């Protein structure tokens, strides 16, 4: 009995490793097929949506599922990506401008902008997770991601720790980044977002009782 359980655990682990590697390679392929600029966000959404299916214990064909999400969300995900990039560029230019200033007020604003940029990165991650989880307008995804970032620090800390662990692993183990970096980051994003959704649901349940 124990041997059977161990064999099942090993099989499940190897199955997940194979899926993560395959999804990572598909992400690279489809990002490049969109000339990076137009392929990055559709491929990222397709990657997250496919991973979500496996987290829900569904077992759809990987390539077909990835391709269907890529096609379906190509234009909408690029709209979302355009919004994300524009806001990111504004923050980047603001930081560069403040960095070149020499007065004390600018220094305070500079460090405030750095903190805002960190929060914005978390908002992007939660927005992408929300996009594959719920059917909502783009503005609602961004608003909910902002609220989660501000009011649910624990999932955000989990996400930061997860990103750090992935970064450490891919920089220390040769070849790991090519096969697993993006899919592992996607897994961290979805797991952190699921934790945030559970905490929000618990808070809502307490308020309703």
Q: What is the DSSP string of 99-151?
A: HH--SHHHHHHHHHHHHHHHHHHHHHHHHHHHHHH----HHHHHHHHHHHHHH
Distance of alpha carbon 89 from alpha carbon 103, whole angstroms: 23
pLDDT in tens, 171-195: 999 889 999 999 999 999 999 999 9
Average pLDDT, the chain: 92
Residue 205 has pLDDT above 70, yes or no: yes
Structure tokens at 179: 């096969």
pLDDT in tens, 78-109: 999 999 999 999 999 999 988 887 777 788 88
pLDDT in tens, 37-82: 999 999 999 999 999 999 998 889 999 999 999 999 999 999 999 9
Q: Residue 105: its pLDDT value, please?
A: 74
Task: Give the three-state DSSP class for 33.
Answer: helix
Residue 202's pLDDT band, with cuts at 50, 70 and 90, is: confident
Closest-CA residue to 115 (of 81, 91, 139, 85): 91
Structure tokens at 9: 């655990």
**DSSP code, position 57:** T
Q: Residue 63: its pLDDT value, please?
A: 97
All residues at 6 or more sequence positions from 116 whose CB lies less than 8 Å from its CB, including other chains: 91
Give me the half-sphere count of Cα atoms (radius 13 Å) on the Cβ side of residue 77.
26
Helix 74-100 / helix 138-151 crossing angle, nearest 10 deg = 50
Residue 1 has pLDDT above 60, yes or no: no
* Greater model confidence, 27 or 138: 27
Residue 120 has pLDDT above 90, yes or no: yes
Q: Residue 133: its pLDDT value, please?
A: 95
Looking up tokens 């041997």, which residue turns up? 3
Distance of alpha carbon 206 from alpha carbon 125, whole angstroms: 27
Task: Give the three-state DSSP class for 61.
Answer: coil
All residues at 6 or more sequence positions from 202 whose CB lies less than 8 Å from its CB, including other chains: none
């Amino acid at each position: 009995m124990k041997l059977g359980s161990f064999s099942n655990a090993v099989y499940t682990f190897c199955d997940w490793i194979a899926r993560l590697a395959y999804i990572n390679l598909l992400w690279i392929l489809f990002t490049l097929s969109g000339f990076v600029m137009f392929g990055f966000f559709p491929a990222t959404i397709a990657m997250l949506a496919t991973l979500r299916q496996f987290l829900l214990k569904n077992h759809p064909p990987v390539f077909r599922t990835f391709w269907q999400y890529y096609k379906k969300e190509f234009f909408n995900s690029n709209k979302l990506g355009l919004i994300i990039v524009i806001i990111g560029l504004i923050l980047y230019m603001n930081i560069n401008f403040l960095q070149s200033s020499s007065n004390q007020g600018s220094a305070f604003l500079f460090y405030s902008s750095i903190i805002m940029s960190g929060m914005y990165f978390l908002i992007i991650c939660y927005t992408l997770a929300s996009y594959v989880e719920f059917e909502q307008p783009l503005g609602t995804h961004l608003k909910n991601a902002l609220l989660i970032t501000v009011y649910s620090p624990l999932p955000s800390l989990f996400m930061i720790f997860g990103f750090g662990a992935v970064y450490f692993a891919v920089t220390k183990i040769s070849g790991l980044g090519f096969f697993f970096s993006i899919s592992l980051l996607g897994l961290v994003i979805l797991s952190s977002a699921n934790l945030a959704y559970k905490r929000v649901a618990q808070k809502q349940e307490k308020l309703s009782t």
